[in-house]
Structures are given as structure tokens and as C-alpha cells.
Amino acid sequence: MRFPSLPRALLVPAILALAPLPAAEKSPADAAFDAARAAIVTSSPAGETALEAGFTFLLGFPEDPRTRGLLPALEALAERLPEAARAGYREAYARRIAAALARPDLPAPAREGILSGIASAVLSRELEAEQPDPAALAGPLRALAEQFPQSRALPALRLGEARLLAARDPAAGLARLRALAADPDPELARQAAAEVRVAQLRTEPLELKFTAADGREVDVARLRGKVVLIDFWATWCGPCIAELPNLLRVYEQYHPQGFEIVGISFENSGVIDEETRRNPRNAGRPLDNPEQAAAKLAAARTKLLDFTRDRKMPWPQHFDGRYWDNEFGRQFNIRSIPAMFLLDREGRVVDTNARGAKLEPQVRRLLGLQP
């Protein structure tokens, strides 16, 4: 999982999954971050403890980039609490938000962070919804844009709003995405252009053809007449692995009726080439020679195949070892995983986030089975 441009409410952002620093190397911000992280990612979270730690970090270090994604993670925490505690936690979370925004001395970065966090959480929620509502994002997005028109969060939120609109009204969403594809911000324009291609797939069949990691030839066009899930994932992605039992259960139950899965693996072979060395964290590292690159790719392929065999995943897997530069990931603007494109019998995309409780009902509907 990556810290995504379009965060999802049910994922703990990857920034919170970073290992804590040794105590001797911690700054006050590091210590506050580690406390928030520990309170959120623990297997048995306590709501008030998580809120206290999270808002201490957010309000104490508002310019720290690690605060991004914090509010969606805190909001999503409700789903991991005992059912009887969820309503009280949500009320306490809302009170914390309101109290912070009411402070006249609230630093501008903290206010911006809270407003962008509110909008991101709404977007996350709607992306997960079976019937997404673009209007739900309008108010939070307007509040952020009016107070912080230069906010770095705005491009991703506007792109997310267009995605929601495309899911609800493909023609209107496509028009919005095309407008964003002409935006002067080059990165927003690039992502919007990729989303235009995805939006078009709601009315045009998806084409996908490759040789799988195990040698099988895959052509999605040959699966017309079946319901197909394109699963963008990786063995290193915690939420992907958490989704796997659900995926295996649905596959086992509905494969005989015509349900297929095609995996697109974002495995990281660790090859250092000219492109990966542009990343600052790889500065100064020597390029791999052809033999080293081939050995790393082979090892990553073996890891993927061993994993899918051990987990009894019989469907084919695309593998190129390019991590976030996976060729199909870039083609379809995959900014976070798991991402799951569900195709109808004609090969058209009906959902770009068909996971969790949403998956089985949609598969049944597309297969023509009774609810």
C-alpha cells in the first residue's frame, strides 16, 4: 500500500505503517507520530487513546507531512472498534474536529490539514460506497478551496470528485475528467487523462493482454461472456492480503458459474536503473548490470509464484517487477492498492473498487443469480 493521492477510508495510510524510529533518534515530532501510529494500528485499538494521540500530533506538528492521511485513518478506526463503541467514537471524533476548527489561534497549516482531511475522509467513504454520491464531497471541497485555494490537496480531491461523478453519471464524469486533463498542472492533467481512459471503459470493453508470470497467455477479450475481476495488488501490501480470504471465497463459489480473476502484481524487484535512481532515496546507488537486474527480476517472480501457490490463488498474474511503474498500473492510473476493476460479461468496467462486502453482491448480479 502506498500513501495514495486518493485515500481510502478502510485503509490505514502507508505513512502510518512505517516502523518507529529508535528512541535515541526521535525528535518530539517523531515521538508524537509514533504514539499516534501505535494507537491507530494496534490490533485492539482504544478510541479515546487514538483520538488523543492523533490530535496531539496533528495540532502539535501541523506542518509535518506525516499528518496527511491521519484524519481518514482516525475516522476509519470506527469500523475496527466493537459495534457498541462506534457511535460514541464517531461523536467524540466530530467534537474534536469542531473544537479544533473553533480555535481562533489554530495555525493555518493545522486548519488546512483538518479541512483537507475532512474532504479526504468524505471522498474515501464515497469511493467505498456501492452507490457513490459526488454531492457529498461538494461542501468539504468548497470549504477547503475557499480558505486555502493553493492547497496541495485540491488537485487530488478534484480528481476524486470527477471519479465519483463518473461512477454515478459516466457522461458527466467523462466531461469533468476531460476538463481536468487540460489543467495547467501537468501531474493533475496526466492523472486526469489516465482517468479519462478508465471512465471510457464503462462504455467500451477493456483490453488487456500479456504473458503471465507462470507462462500462461492472458487475453481478457477471450473472457467475454464471463464476469472478470482485474485485481491490482502485491505480496507486500497489507490491505491486499487482508482482502485475500474474501477474494478466494468468492472465486471458489462463483468460478463454476463464470467468474474469473486476473491479477496485476505490483511486485518490487528492486532493480536499480536510470528511472528508479531518479528517486532521491536511491541517490548514489550504482546501476544494476544486466545480470544483476535479471537475477533480481527472477527472484521477485519466484517470490510471487511461491506466494500464489501457497495461498492457493489459481488465477494468472501479470508481473514486470516495476513496482509503482507497473505498465498497466500507469495505464489505468492506479495510485493505491488494492484496486479492483470488475468487468461485466461484455468486458465493460462496472466498478473500480469492487472489494470487501461489495464484491459478492455485484458478482451475483452480473452473473444473473438471484440476490
Regarding predicted confidence, which is higher, 173 or 262?
A: 262
Asked whether residue 243 falls in the same domain as residue 99, the answer is no
Tens digits of per-residue pLDDT, 176-194?
999 999 999 888 898 888 8
Question: What is the spatial distance between Cα 277 and Cα 367, in angstroms, rounded to a whole number?
Answer: 46
Beta strand residue intervals within 92-174, DSSP E: none
CB 42 within 8 A of CB 66: no
Mean pLDDT throughout 166-172?
Answer: 84
Residue 7 lies in a domain: no
Whether the predicted pLDDT of 35 surpasses 80:
yes
Domain boundary among 200, 223, 242: 200
Predicted local confidence at residue 23, as pLDDT: 56
Among residues 297, 202, 303, 221, which one has the least CA distance to residue 260?
221
CB 248 within 8 A of CB 240: no
Asked whether residue 188 falls in the same domain as residue 312, the answer is no
CATH number at residue 359: 3.40.30.10
CB 38 within 8 A of CB 85: no
| Residue numbers of the domain that contains 41 | 14-200
Question: What is the spatial distance between Cα 131 and Cα 165, in angstroms, rounded to a whole number?
Answer: 11
Predicted local confidence at residue 209, as pLDDT: 95
Residue 6 lies in a domain: no
In total, how many domains does the chain have? 2
Asked whether residue 249 falls in the same domain as residue 275, the answer is yes
pLDDT-derived band at 270 (thresholds 50, 70, 90) equals confident
CB 251 within 8 A of CB 261: yes
Predicted local confidence at residue 8, as pLDDT: 37
Asked whether residue 223 falls in the same domain as residue 86, the answer is no
Predicted local confidence at residue 13, as pLDDT: 45
Whether the predicted pLDDT of 4 surpasses 50:
no
CB 54 within 8 A of CB 74: yes
Residue 9 lies in a domain: no
CB 283 within 8 A of CB 277: yes
Using only C-alpha atoms, the chain has a radius of gyration, in whole angstroms, of 21
Asked whether residue 223 falls in the same domain as residue 255, the answer is yes
Question: What is the spatial distance between Cα 277 and Cα 283, in angstroms, rounded to a whole number?
Answer: 6
Residue 8 lies in a domain: no
Lowest-confidence segment of 9-23, 37-51, 316-330 by average pLDDT: 9-23
Whether the predicted pLDDT of 11 surpasses 60:
no
Mean pLDDT throughout 343-350?
Answer: 95
Tens digits of per-residue pLDDT, 219-248?
999 999 999 999 999 999 888 998 999 999
Residue 119 lies in a domain: yes
Residue 77 lies in a domain: yes
Question: What is the spatial distance between Cα 230 and Cα 343, in angstroms, rounded to a whole number?
Answer: 8
Predicted local confidence at residue 186, as pLDDT: 87
Residue 35 lies in a domain: yes
Predicted local confidence at residue 281, as pLDDT: 65
Whether the predicted pLDDT of 360 surpasses 50:
yes
What average pLDDT does the structure give for the chain? 87
Predicted local confidence at residue 166, as pLDDT: 83
Asked whether residue 83 falls in the same domain as residue 213, the answer is no
Tens digits of per-residue pLDDT, 291-331?
998 999 999 999 999 999 999 999 999 999 989 889 999 88
Q: Which residues make Cβ contacts (< 8 Å) with residue 151, sequence separation at least 6?
A: 112, 115, 116, 144, 145
Mean pLDDT throughout 13-33?
Answer: 65
Predicted local confidence at residue 6, as pLDDT: 36
Tally Cβ neighbours within 10 Å of residue 346: 12
Asked whether residue 66 falls in the same domain as residue 49, the answer is yes
- Joined together, the cell numbers standing for residue 261 give 480473476
Is the pTM higher than 0.75? The answer reads: no
